[in-house]
Chain A
Amino acid sequence: MSAPYARPLDLKHGLVDLTHGSGGRAMAQLIRELFVRELANEYLAQGDDGARLGRATGRLVVATDAHVVSPLFFPGGDIGCLSVNGTINDVAVMGARPLYLAASFVLEEGFPLADLAKIAASMGRASREAGVPVVTGDTKVVERGKADGVFITTTGVGELRDGIDCSGANARPGDVVLLSGPIGAHGMAIMACRENLSFDAPIVSDTAALHGLVDALLRAAPGLHTMRDATRGGVGATLNEIAQQSGVGIEIDEAAIPIPAPVEAACELLGLDPLYVANEGRLLAICPPDLAGDALGALRAHPLGAGATRIGRVIEDPRRFVQMRTRLGGRRIVDWLHGDQLPRIC
């Protein structure tokens, strides 16, 4: 394909301007030289407004997620890989195999093309690693000051595995609650950047695509009741969602929840509770007690679940409280978060 443009995009000094969203030549060039190149796949190559996909045999699952994060680049990742992994995870925890992604970008006028190129490359890398192509997309540009650099919305489509029934509504009293690893890294990596906190070892975001881990988990324990990735609002908010949806109580044990020392120190400094700090590569799984051993084994055998632990159990409770036995032996409610302890981190 020969490029019909006089000059290639200036990826060093160029800036996004309003013509990049105007539907004209500049926009076509941006899409072609940046997004199509980095995300290349047969579906994007069709070049139409939408993508014609293969035939699915099972039931489909769809999930969508808007990504706004400040800063856009942080230790362990950036908004690009975050937007790919986040949506893959939303599809995966439904018990589905993620197949395709769609992405739409809102760009702020004046945003450096060099940064955009980095973001597109990071999306490309994440999508190739995960084996889930970005098959269609859209780009809009808004005036300076109307957005914060770049916002990315991704939508994922997946195919449900036969015989799997995973839902936030399926937790039953007696079930065991598993957590796939240490918590709080993503949220605190972002906060540490924002607040200029420095630690001997920087806190690195845990952003990762979890569909491989989910696959291993479902093979070992197909009768699993619930999976959720503990993103915004952290483990605390996610458990409350499940308790609410399933009409149960959940009891967790603080001592069993792994919190990396730097995360704990940063939380202490900023007065935050790690239970409510966002994760981008951790999932909670709830299963009947007879499956717990196999499920935990499968999690631990996978690199993304090496730090998995059993953190609690589901109980009967019409009030749908999530409660925690603290490290000191007292009990407390892990309530919904009132307001926002961390604005805009995922």
Chain B
Amino acid sequence: MKYVDEFRDGELARGLAAAIARDAEAHRHYRFMEFCGGHTHAISRYGLADLLPDGIRMIHGPGCPVCVLPIGRIDQAIRLAREHRVILATYADTMRVPASQRLTLLRAKALGADVRMVYSTEDALAIARANPHREVVFLAIGFETTTPPTAVAVLHAAEAALGNFSILCNHVLTPAAMHAILDAPQGVAIDGFVGPAHVSTVIGSAPYEPFALDYGKPVVIAGFEPLDLLRAIHLLVRQVNEGRAAVENEFTRAVTRAGNVRAQALVDRVFERRADFEWRGLGTIPASALQLRPEFAHFDAERRFAVAYEPVPDNKACACGEILRGEKRPEECRIFGTACTPENPIGSCMVSSEGACAAHYTYGRLRGAAA
């Protein structure tokens, strides 16, 4: 526990906050996006926005695996469980994601589908071993952090010739999403990025270099602890003040430039890039997600079962796209907090507590009202 506490020290935090306030120039607005849901969570959990001067606004990015899953993907999972009668193994956080026909995996389960919550890919494999006469599909989601465990599971299944196991692959790529945000024809209102913690331990810091070099946006990779975030924000403020754009690494205790080469090789052995993939809130992004390589095709639930992906448009009122590009704030969405709430999410950003709208709903309302 000591380890954790060191990074949550109130006095250090106040010192850092004071340094940020000193360096932030009064006439400037700083709009920083923390890409990753883990950072969003830390910001709300520790009330960090409260420690920042008014001129600094944090924009919550799309780095929440559950939030970016489009409706059509959850529909596929539900169809696998209901129509193809498979055992669908899934991480708990996908259970409440709204799908078509007012269904969720939770509701499908209540209606009799065999949906099981697992905490690891190992659990999913264990279910497959224990139920040799049933098909077991693992709903694989997440960014670069959760991809290596899925790759390992597929390799294990291949070694053991586990014929009843497959995955519905929704693994997505962080840099591709950052590109999409920066390439928006409307332009972006973002002055810098807090780079992901765990994702960067896998992919390293090199993939962010184009954002600094080509787009002129500073990137500072930060750990998940609140002090990490404050330090990263401080470094971003300095870069902006100095007119610099570089990739800096605050999380040197875990992230290198090259990342985890072994994990990358593992992923590369099992997965290849999809031509494109639809993201909730961001639309279709080329080469932004993974699928199994042809030699592992029989572990691919999309090829094994007739569950073609059918896109379902996001709700028209939902402003997630604009919010993710920093153009709008959550409270500027017409249905924020009225029709769209964490209990009844309409758009992707309200789905998990790490989503931009959900985070603002739980934290930002307080600040908005006090100001």
Q: Name the distance in Å between B66's Cβ and chain A's nearest Cβ.
A: 12
- Main secondary structure on B side of the interface with A: helix
Q: Which residues of B contact A273 (CB under 8 A)?
A: 45
Contacts of B44 in A (CB 8 A): 332
Task: Provide the bound-state CA to CA distance between A195 and B119, in Å.
Answer: 8
B12 nearest in chain A by CB position? A328
**Does B180 have its Cβ within 8 Å of any Cβ on chain A?**
no
List the A residue with the shortest CB-CB distance to B370.
Answer: A331
Interface-central residue, A323, A326, A328, A335, by most chain B CB under 10 Å: A328
Mark interface residues in A321-336 (1 if CB within 8 Å of B CB, else 0): 1011111111111010
Determine which residue in B4, B14, B45, B369 has the highest number of CB atoms from chain A within 10 A of its CB, and name it: B45
Q: Which residues of B contact A330 (CB under 8 A)?
A: 46-51
Q: Which of B91-105 contact A (CB under 8 A)?
A: 95-96
A264 within 8 A of B: yes
Cα separation A324 to B47 with both chains bound (whole Å): 9
B226 within 8 A of A: yes
Asked if A327 and B10 sit within 8 Å, CB to CB, the answer is yes
Within 8 A of B (CB), among A310-346: 319, 321, 323-333, 335, 338-339
- Judged by a CB distance under 8 angstroms, whether A11 is at the interface is no
* Contact of B366 with A331 in the complex, beta carbons under 8 Å: yes
| Inter-subunit contact B47/A255 (CB<8 Å) | no
Q: Which of A319, A321, A329 contacts B51 (CB 8 A)?
A: A329
- B1 & A265 in contact (Cβ 8 Å cutoff): yes
- Identify which of A265, A323, A329, A332 gathers the most chain B CB atoms within 10 Å of its CB: A332
List the B side residues contacting A333 at CB < 8 Å.
362-363, 365-366
What's the minimum C-beta distance from A196 to chain B, rounded to whole angstroms?
10
**Complex alpha-carbon distance, A326 and B362, angstroms:** 14
| Minimum distance in angstroms from B266 CB to a CB of chain A | 24
Docked-complex contact A328 and B353, CB < 8 angstroms = no
Q: Judge whether B295 is part of the interface by a CB distance below 8 angstroms.
A: no
Q: Which of A88-138 contact B (CB under 8 A)?
A: none
Chain A residue at minimal CB-CB distance from B16? A328
Query: Are A255 and B363 neighbours in the complex by a CB distance under 8 Å?
Result: no
Contact in complex: A328, B48 (CB < 8 Å): yes
Q: Which of A246-272 contact B (CB under 8 A)?
A: 255, 261, 264-265, 268
B242 at the interface (CB under 8 A from A): no
Q: List 21 A-B contacts (CB under 8 A).
A: A261-B1, A265-B1, A326-B45, A326-B47, A327-B10, A327-B46, A328-B51, A329-B10, A329-B17, A329-B50, A330-B49, A331-B50, A332-B46, A332-B362, A333-B362, A333-B363, A333-B366, A335-B362, A338-B342, A338-B353, A338-B358
